[in-house]
Amino acid sequence: MEILQHVYARGARWRIDHIRPYDGCQLLTLAAIDGTPRARRLLTPFDDVAPIGTRARCRWVSRRRWRGAFRTLIASNAPPATVSSGLDAAIDVLPHQLEPALAVLRGLGTRLLLADDVGMGKTIQAGLVVSDLLRRRRIDRVLVLVPAGLRQQWRTELERFALSATIADAPALRQLTATLPLGVNPWVTLPLAIASIDYVKRPEVLPAVMSCAWDLVIVDEAHGVVGDSERFAAVRSLAARSPYVLLLTATPHSGDEKAFAALCGLGDLHTSDRIVVFRRTRQSFGCGAGRRLVTLNVRPSARERSMFDALARYRRAVQAEHGERALALSVLDKRAYSSAWSLAVSVARRLAELANSGAGGVDQPWLPFDDPDGELTHEDVAPAWPADLDLADSTCERALLTAIAEAAQAAVRQHESKIDALRRLLRRCRESAIVFTEFRDTALHVSEAIGHVPVLHGGLTSTERTRIVDRFTSGERAVLVATDAAGQGLNLHHRCRLVINLELPWNPARIEQRIGRVERIGQKRRVHGVLLVGRSTGEHRILARLRQRTATASRSMEPAAETTAESRSRLVADAAVEAARLMSTRRFDRREDDGILAKLEESRWWTSKARKWRTRSALAGRSVHIYRLTAVDAAGGIAASEVIAVAVRVEPRHSEENAVVADHLLQHWQTTVRAASAAYWNTRVRRERLIVTAADPPSASPLQASLFNHRDERTHVAARVAQQAWLDAARLRLVETERQSLVRSTTAELLLVLAP
């Protein structure tokens, strides 16, 4: 069946939108011929489908009707390798945001790293890729992996592209499972799923996700995946099975070369499977009003200096017994720089462990019993005490720790210097501000000290986070305290421009992430970032290392971005042209005229006369013939369609002359379409072949059966069956992809004629 052919099925007239062949049958996707949003999916030959021929006659219509059809044709225009989804999406079309989608459609790569500065619209860029691939029937199923707090934000952003996504958490999956037959994997029923990375990595969840065939895997805040072994293993396994991998992070490089290499290696299957890196800075596009980063030196109080001295004595004692292993105690320095309160909490917990066990407590691993829905994060909780650093003389150790605890508690009672500096800063600036810290207990302590301001931390549910953010953005509260774990994905640029860092993070990427909450597209004022640094406390050494790591990261990112610079040199210019085309085409997007196109296809062509004398004078006796050129792939889907207007002196009823014009238009267009199609499909097929080749075959290793139960044996067999089923599906997908890569036919159809 040819695409756009009209058929009669189930008592109504339809237009074929897509054909997917299977063994012995075909799945037809039908669209309503009257322009309404009705749709059907039928299986032939089990459903009766009768083709309906079009009427081969000219139809004279009014100028208003003709113009409506013309505007609809222009709005539905989809030339080869263009971003058609940007036409009706609820976004401002910016050229740099079109580049990743163009790179995918033109076959520049299947693995993309979007590493633009914070606030440059990486979510919009990902949405354009998803929407265009879905609209062109190139993919069917998408998995979006994000931090728990960003799931609702992602669903809202995808709604800009008329994409309905499901947040795949424990309650949603339980509800879905209850409606499915026994044994059906609920993940298989989700075409577009948004899930928390920490939820998916769980051992009871990951096998079900892995057994599904995902066409596109998106990982937001991808830099956070590399630092966690369970997250990294889960994402690496999922990315290795996906034809497309999209990694999003504003801070891809923290100065750690191994971490950056691991990030770029997600989904890598072969040395030639190079990742395409997009690294655009805000300065290069002239976005925003600029940034000012200020270091505010804070003089510690006498009791805080006593606290640091007591901590140094304890460190020297541990170093004398354990040597370089004492470097693990640097986590206590981090706690002390954050607040005297957080150090007092850590030391008090350690003293309690020594009192209870006498030899140090056992680190109890966290279990997700208190978080069944996967909404919480424990990255901002107080870190565990460094293991195996006990002093031989436990009495001496208790005395040293008691001295630290007493000094820290005294510093808290006297008012901590950084909190006093924070109060003065907030009082003088008289603006809304967001205060960042790494630790949850510090955030709660600071909130209480400066007037019980709202706190965002990892122990809140998504509903609680939304309520707190709304209170801040609405102007109800002027100050917001947040931890790094809870601050991801915040869009506060309309409300705030001041970011205060209570302590220096050891990773320079975190400073960029913090300031990026307010320095985004749409920020009209200069952004101010304040670093509170304790004078003569060791924080200046951290600041120097941060600057050094930032410089290292910048130098390392340059060659990574330049590896694809040559192939992307034309992409930048093409994105500007495409943005201009979309903006001009948006003027013709008339949604109320959706039914005109279906009625136009029922006739041979619509004709109208030019009424204005200027138009008739410009035509000089010629007619304007408007053709729609369509390329159909082997699956019956539209590979590309383009509207072209030609001024000729041939009458439309002269079929021979008209055929000559159509053939002339097709000659050049066929070459363009086939070249664009080959560039895309060659890259896609090569990726899918690598996936099948690299897939591990089902394990045939022997299993020692238990004498008492067969649980391990059943688990082993189930894993082998699931792996074999996935491998069979991957091979079938490869065959279908190779078949769909062929352009079956191209046609030129005369739809409109403007007579002089």
Pure H helices in 563-605:
565-586, 594-602
> At 2, is the pLDDT very low, low, confident or very high (cuts 50, 70, 90)?
very low
Q: Which residue has better confidence, 23 or 724?
A: 724
- φ, ψ of residue 433 in degrees (nearest 5): -150, 155
- Which pLDDT does position 285 carry in this prediction? 66
Mean residue pLDDT across the chain: 82
**704 or 744, which is more confident:** 744
CA terminus-to-terminus distance, the chain: 37
Strand-pair category, 605-609 with 743-755: parallel
Taking only the tens place, the pLDDT of each residue in 189-245 is 999 999 999 899 998 899 999 989 899 999 998 988 887 788 999 999 999 999 999
Q: For residue 1, what pLDDT is reported?
A: 32
Q: What is the pTM of this model?
A: 0.81
pLDDT-wise least confident of 85-89, 186-190, 269-273? 269-273
Summarize the confidence of residues 124-152 as an average pLDDT: 91
Percent of the chain with pLDDT over 90: 27
Sequence-distant (6+) residues with CB within 8 A of 670 are: 631, 746
Amino acid 613: pLDDT: 81
Distances (CA, A) of 250 to 115, 142, 469, 533, 735: 5, 22, 22, 25, 37
- The pLDDT confidence band at residue 246, using thresholds 50, 70 and 90, is very high
Q: Quick one: pLDDT at residue 701?
A: 53
Q: What is the 3-state secondary structure (H, E, C) of 667-686?
A: HHHHHHHHHHHHHHHHHHHH
Q: Is the pLDDT of residue 267 over 70?
A: yes
Q: What angle do CA 601, 607, 609 make, to 5 degrees?
A: 155
Least confident of 504-508, 598-602, 645-649: 598-602
Residue 343's pLDDT band, with cuts at 50, 70 and 90, is very high
Name the residue with higher pLDDT: 654 or 308.
308
pLDDT at position 359 is 45
Instruction: Name 157's Cβ contacts closer than 8 Å, sequence gap at least 6.
Output: 123, 124, 127
Which pLDDT score is estimated for 528? 92
pLDDT for 378 equals 80
Query: What φ, ψ does residue 113 adopt, rounded to 5°?
Result: -115, 110
Asked if pLDDT for residue 547 goes beyond 70, the answer is yes
Q: What confidence score (pLDDT) does residue 361 get? A: 45
SS3 content of the chain, % helix, strand, coil (to 5): 45, 20, 35
Q: Which pLDDT band holds residue 123 (cuts at 50, 70, 90)?
A: very high
Res 243: pLDDT: 93
Residue 564 banded pLDDT, cuts 50, 70, 90 = low
**pLDDT grade for 696, boundaries at 50, 70 and 90:** low
pLDDT digits (tens, 9 = 90+) for 345-387: 999 999 988 887 644 444 555 555 566 666 777 888 888 888 8
Residue with structure tokens 């990902």?
126
Per-residue pLDDT averaged across 692-713, rounded? 63
Average of per-residue pLDDT across 250-259? 81
Mean pLDDT, range 43-67, rounded to an integer? 75
